[in-house]
Amino acid sequence: MTVQELIDGKEYEVLNPGEDTGRRIETVFCCDLLSVAMGKAPADCAWVTVMGNMNTLAVAVLTEAACVILAEGTVLDETALKKAGEQGITVLRTEAPVFETAMEIYKML
């Protein structure tokens, strides 16, 4: 499934559509500790987290995550939202918990 297909499914609120939406999502990754995500997030993953700050976005860019999905109704602060726009990172949001979100996306792959 591509990032665009995930967006088109309309299951998730789009906080920032991102630029590279044609890329394929290869797997799902869950982690809120950025220190761990930095070392473990696989490239091209859909990263489900409740951590919605600037550093989440930096980690997403550097680990080459395909997109970020903020679970549990987490919001991005204004600075982070601006950064997502500048860096072209796809950021989605849902009220659902991390596990349910990850499982749902995993089933769609």
* Residue 10 φ/ψ, nearest 5 degrees: 60, 20
Nearest to another protein of 79, 109 (CB atom): 79
Strands annotated E in 3-77: 13-16, 27-30, 45-49, 67-70
Nearest distance from C-beta of residue 44 to another protein, angstroms:
10
DSSP 8-state code for residue 9: T
Nearer to another protein, 63 or 94 (CB): 63
Where on the chain is the footprint of another protein (CB under 8 A)? Answer: 32-39, 43, 51, 53-56, 58-59, 61-64, 79, 87
Whose Cβ is closer to another protein: residue 58's or residue 108's?
58
Report whether 71 contacts 2 (CB < 8 A): no
